[in-house]
């Protein structure tokens, strides 16, 4: 498995002023690509992709407020539900389909990933890693569902219904016959976990993970 060096340095990341994981996602996307961002929020990533990578970037977002904010900013965002609407996109419609911090909120994560790899040849997925040592500690020591900066809501009000760990995600990618081209884990302060660490360290130290998958064949 090829693990990649960070392309942008931390200084650039800071300058962007946005979420570090979005910058990590953006640098995995080749300039000038056609991109669909699933769960686009208010369009922060779309704008980043359009302005810094020259992408033809479109979004789909569940919340009306997010969509309206994005469209008012001149971005192409469609109000819709990823769990249903991805079925309406044709095969190979995009170069990349991105799912940023949304996988855990979908009802059918496996179906969504399959659709992403059908609509685009490549998929970029970022998600909070439930295998992070603090999550494990919360469960083990306190017997409570973890609440962290990346997962700030209590279990009874969070939209997140399908948490997974980095290892779980790798297993799902294998199940879907997708190739992991690149993977980046970010620790709790947003720094990349060193690339020469074994998987179990990543799974312990990574609070967020970003994967670039390619459809095989």
State whether residue 61 is helix, strand or coil.
strand
- Both tokens assigned to 97: 């389909």
Phi-psi region of 74 (alpha: psi -120 to 50; beta: other; left: phi over 0): left
Interior angle at CA 160, CA 172 and CA 60, nearest 5:
80
Q: How far apart are CA 126 and CA 211, in angstroms?
A: 6
Q: Terminus-to-terminus CA distance in the chain, angstroms?
A: 18
85 counts as binding other proteins under rule CB under 8 A: yes
| Span interacting with other proteins, options 21-29, 77-85, 136-144, 151-159, rule CB under 8 A | 77-85
| Binds other proteins by CB under 8 A, chosen from 18, 56, 111, 179 | 56
Element (H, E) at 86: none
Looking at beta carbons only, is 58 or 192 nearer to other proteins? 58
88 counts as binding other proteins under rule CB under 8 A: yes
Q: How far apart are CA 45 and CA 72, in angstroms?
A: 15
Q: For other proteins, how many residues bind (rule: CB under 8 A)?
A: 21
Looking at beta carbons only, is 79 or 188 nearer to other proteins? 79
159 counts as binding other proteins under rule CB under 8 A: no
45 counts as binding other proteins under rule CB under 8 A: no
| Binds other proteins by CB under 8 A, chosen from 7, 72, 137, 161 | 72
Give the interface with other proteins as residue ranges (CB under 8 A): 56, 58, 64, 67-68, 70-80, 85, 88-90, 93
């Amino acid at each position: 498995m090829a693990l990649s060096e960070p392309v942008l340095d931390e200084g650039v990341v800071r300058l962007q002023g946005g979420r570090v994981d979005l910058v990590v996602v953006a640098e995995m996307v080749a300039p000038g690509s056609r991109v669909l961002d699933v769960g686009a929020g208010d369009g922060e990533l779309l704008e980043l992709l359009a302005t810094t990578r020259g992408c033809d970037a479109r979004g789909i977002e569940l919340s009306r407020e997010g969509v309206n904010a994005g469209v008012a900013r001149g971005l192409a965002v469609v109000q819709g539900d990823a769990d249903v609407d991805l079925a309406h996109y044709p095969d190979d419609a995009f170069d990349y389909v991105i799912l940023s911090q949304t996988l855990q909120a979908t009802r059918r994560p496996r179906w969504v990933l399959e659709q992403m790899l059908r609509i685009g040849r490549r998929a970029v997925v970022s998600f909070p890693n439930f295998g992070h040592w603090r999550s494990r500690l919360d469960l083990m020591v306190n017997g409570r569902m973890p609440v962290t900066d990346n997962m700030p809501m209590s279990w009874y009000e969070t939209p997140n219904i399908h948490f997974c760990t980095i290892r779980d995600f790798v297993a799902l990618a294998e199940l879907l016959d997708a190739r992991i081209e690149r993977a980046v884990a970010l620790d709790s302060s947003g720094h990349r976990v060193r690339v020469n660490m074994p998987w179990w360290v990543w799974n312990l130290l990574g609070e967020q993970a970003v994967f670039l998958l390619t459809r095989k064949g």
